[in-house]
Chains A and B, each alone.
Chain A
Amino acid sequence: MKRTIIGVICSASILLASCAAGGNSNVAPIDHSRTVIFGIPQEPPIINTYLANGAQGVTQMMTEPLHDKWVRMDDTSTWQPQLATTVPSLKNGGVTVGPDSTTIRFSIRQRAKWSDNVPIECDDLVFTWKTIMSERWQISTRLGWREITSITCPTPHKVVMHLRGHYAPFLSSILDSHPLPRHALEGRNFNTYWNNRVTISSGPFIFESWKRGVDLRMRRNPNYWNDQDAAPNAAKMIVFKFVPDASTLKLQLRMEEVDMVALQPDSNLPTELARIPGVETSIVPGAGWEQLTYNMERAPTNNVHVRRAIAYSINRQTIADVVLRKQVTPLQSTLLVSQKPMYEPLWQRYDYAPQRVAQELQKAGYRRTGKFWTKDGKRLTLQFATTAGNPLRARLAQLLQVQLARSGIEMQIKLYTAEIFFSQIITHSKFNLSEFSFRTISDPSQSEIFACDQIPRAPNYHGKNDFRYCNRTVDELLRAADAELVPEKRAQLIMRMQRILATDIPTLPLYQPPDTLAYAQRVGGVRANAVGLHTWNADEWTVSEP
């Protein structure tokens, strides 16, 4: 009996081991000679980037090689036409304005086609718009698309798009997107059909397979319309390998199990990556900005002099040096450095100046009694909140506490999980000072962040204006800038708005978190992109063997 039991257990184990080893045994091993293996810590739940569950940045980065867009931003932050023959603008006649409407005209490249050789046409753009606006599908965002009143197709390759009102961010909100193939998707359940596979591509690669938890593979599109300039050793396959642990990813880079990794910012990351032989590292400012949010509806941060005093107490250069070991420099605007000409270093006036702290606090009615400033017998104390589980933010919080204490301002730190932080703390005004980042789209519009109607209020508390900042002049400028299609005039409106913001100081920008990409030297053609899509030029990647 005992021998039987032991025998059964052993046999079951061997059988299970074979099962686990078996897996999808019909999938061929990876041919490393022309393959780029990209290690990613986060696996997307689905790969349809138009749906809510596909809205994360990682999904967009992974699916970028599958989709060409109408226009796209290159590594110099310049709009380039891709499927469109031109980037529509007032200057080239691609954009015309009426009293209460905007018309956008462009042509689609004649040779642009889907991976099944069907031409990409205006009908596909119409289908995309209707799909996004349909209430049947769980679309993540209709930003920009809801401004469209109609799209007409004078010829299969000519597009005439009518928008209500004047809408300046149309490039980033509407045309910086990929078309959906009408001939393949019409009549399908869009909530599920493209979740686990992309059946038809417009880009340089086509979907091959996705084994959840293991990897997603795509191979070179043999019918890619724009492959005439491809290098002889262009990458033939990209494999996105899912490894949740960042330390394991670094080891895998060292062991040549992966060729590329994109990692979250960390103080020691550049040093660690530099120690890996045969690896190049690209560190560029990322598409977001870490900032301190002042709560302008809660004392004492509702006082502009207190806000300025806090700003003067903080040495942002030291923060950049200590927290990220000089990988970044202080950001002096709520816009990114790449967003010229609108970017002006207006927050430079708030560089560390401890001698001005006293002046500002005295204007606010505070007196220095002992170690801290007080007013009406109450110590100047700030409730600081940020997300837990982020070592950089934890370090930043401690540094801020020390710097503020030196200036006589007490700061109490509270860390929350991201869910609680975003839905209960900052939206419900339970802080004086908080720290988190805003992700920036390529357009400089900031209405979602600073407009009065974006302040989170009961009962739903929806809105991104967590500063609770409301300035009617800024509101008018935001609206005017969003409707101004002449770039030079728009830039002026945005710069005027920025100057008022800098004076009112609802926020203190800290830095743009670095975007770090490490890749093996055998991979060529890699160029970092300002909006963080590392795979934006995957068609140019080459693979060389030593």
Chain B
Amino acid sequence: MTLILRNLGRAVPTMFAVSIVMFLLLFVGPNPLQQLQESTNLTATDIARLTEVYGWDKPWYVQYGTWVGNIAQGDFGTSMRTSEPALEMIADRLPLTATLALMSMLVSLCIALPAGVVLAIRRQGKLDTGAAFGSFLLLSTPGFLIAVIFQLFAVWMHDWSGSIVFYTGGGSQTGSFIEAFQRLTLPILTLSSMQVVAWMRYQRSETIAVLEAEFLLVARAKGLAHRAIIWRHALRNAFIPIITLAAMDLAHLLGGTVITETVFGLPGVGRLLLESVQARDVVVALDIVVLSAAFMVICTALADVLQAALDPRLREEEGR
């Protein structure tokens, strides 16, 4: 409870600071209507009139004050582009982004945990060396390039099989589970590949640290089998840090969805944020940022709670 309250106490000033910075970043700059001169028939008179209509002539603190006042009353505002309630727009796209983030986290954990353990057990061997090389290669490959590689794989599968196995992009309206699998598998693997290496290396370090702990020396002295030492004693302790790390990384993962959703054309919150920033739709962009900051606070609190739940030693310390 103390942890939760402490995190909540930090949340309000954090979100306030984030919102001001984001607002200034979005606001500082010229009237976004001006660039419509090149692509539309809007005349100078039209732009002058619409500037007033949309309030781009008001000072930044007036616009920010209006937004804060609305948020305080639970009104997250209306999109300047679509005139739709901003919260509805975000809520509509949230399930997809949440699915991408959670599923990629699961996939990453399923790969990183056992791989990290195996590499720790066989450290300094050929497998460990090869994995280190592969890790650096993957870490130095940008996320959008990984996405494109997966898309090319989808094209190859199509050419080889004569039908669509995985889609290269686009959302779906049908709700079919099979179609969702075809559309989301590659984006999930893309997101997962951006974090699995880091987690695998971390798990490897943690496992090595646990394998060298004194309590395992006692287990060996007692004559326990190697497999029992690893699976029954070592791993229970080695897995704890990475699960809490994953909980905290979940918030960062949402940021990674921007690239993945854009390349794969998925209608998620990440893509909505990018489009809102590009179009200077201040209300929607700010709402997403503030909600993300709130989510980050929740994830941090969750990580603290999980850690305490999984590690009795931390519960005892809190009790003191």
Contacts and interface: CB of A to CB of B under 8 A. Distances in A.
B148 A247 contact: yes
Contacts of A424: 30
Contacts of A28: 174
Contacts of A215: 170-171, 173
B174 A29 contact: yes
A252 interface: yes
A463 interface: yes
Interface string B165-187: 00111111111110111001000
B233 interface: no
B47 interface: yes
Contacts of B154: 251, 255
Interface string B57-70: 00000000000000
A419 B309 contact: no
Given A55-B40, A257-B167, A24 B173 contact: yes
B175 A27 contact: yes
A19 interface: yes
Interface stretch (B1-9, B76-84, B192-200, B205-213): B76-84
A102 interface: no
B50 interface: yes
B31 A196 contact: no
A388 interface: no
B169 A243 contact: yes
A196 B102 CA distance: 31
B53 A138 contact: yes
Interface in B277-320: 279-280, 306, 309-310
A134 B144 CA distance: 47
A26 B176 CA distance: 10
A55 B41 contact: yes
A353 interface: no
Interface residues of A, number: 77
A134 to B, nearest CB: 13
Interface in A301-338: none
Nearest to A420: B30
A195 interface: yes
Interface in B136-193: 148, 151-152, 154-155, 158, 164, 167-177, 179-181, 184
Nearest to A6: B243
A489 interface: no
A422 B38 contact: yes
B220 to A, nearest CB: 24
Contacts of B96: 20
Secondary structure dominating the interface of B:
helix
Contact of A27 (B31, B46, B173, B177): B173
Given A13-B106, A21-B177, A251 B98 contact: no
A436 interface: yes
A174 to B, nearest CB: 13
Contacts of B40: 55-57, 140-141, 439
B264 interface: yes
Given A20-B96, A56-B39, A13 B103 contact: yes
Contact of B30 (A209, A212, A419): A419
Given A20-B99, A192-B83, A419-B32, A462 B44 contact: yes
A85 to B, nearest CB: 27
A1 B177 contact: no
A43 B31 CA distance: 21
Interface in A111-164: 138, 140-143
A141 to B, nearest CB: 5
Contacts of B95: 16, 19-20, 23
Interface stretch (A45-53, A368-376, A501-509, A538-546): A45-53
Contact of A141 (B42, B89, B148, B181): B42
Contacts of A251: 151-152, 154-155, 168-169
Contacts of A355: none
Contact of B38 (A213, A243, A438, A462): A438
B204 interface: no
Interface string B101-134: 0110010000000000000000000000000000
B152 to A, nearest CB: 8
A198 to B, nearest CB: 15
A16 B98 contact: yes
A221 interface: no
A278 interface: no
A229 interface: no
B102 A16 contact: yes
Contacts of B79: 45
Contacts of B264: 245, 248
A488 interface: no
A94 to B, nearest CB: 24
A241 interface: yes
A211 B168 contact: no
A462 B310 CA distance: 64
A391 interface: no
Interface stretch (B11-19, B223-231, B266-274): B266-274
A53 B164 contact: no
A464 interface: yes
Contacts of A142: 46
B175 A244 contact: no
A454 interface: yes
Interface in A232-282: 241-245, 247-248, 251-252, 254-257
A214 interface: yes
Nearest to A45: B81
A251 B32 CA distance: 32
Nearest to B151: A251
A195 B175 contact: no
Interface in B223-263: 262-263
Given A45-B279, A422-B34, A255 B48 contact: no
10 contacts: A10-B106, A20-B95, A23-B175, A25-B174, A52-B50, A55-B36, A245-B264, A255-B158, A419-B32, A460-B48
Closest CB pairs A-B (n = 3)? A213-B267, A25-B175, A21-B180
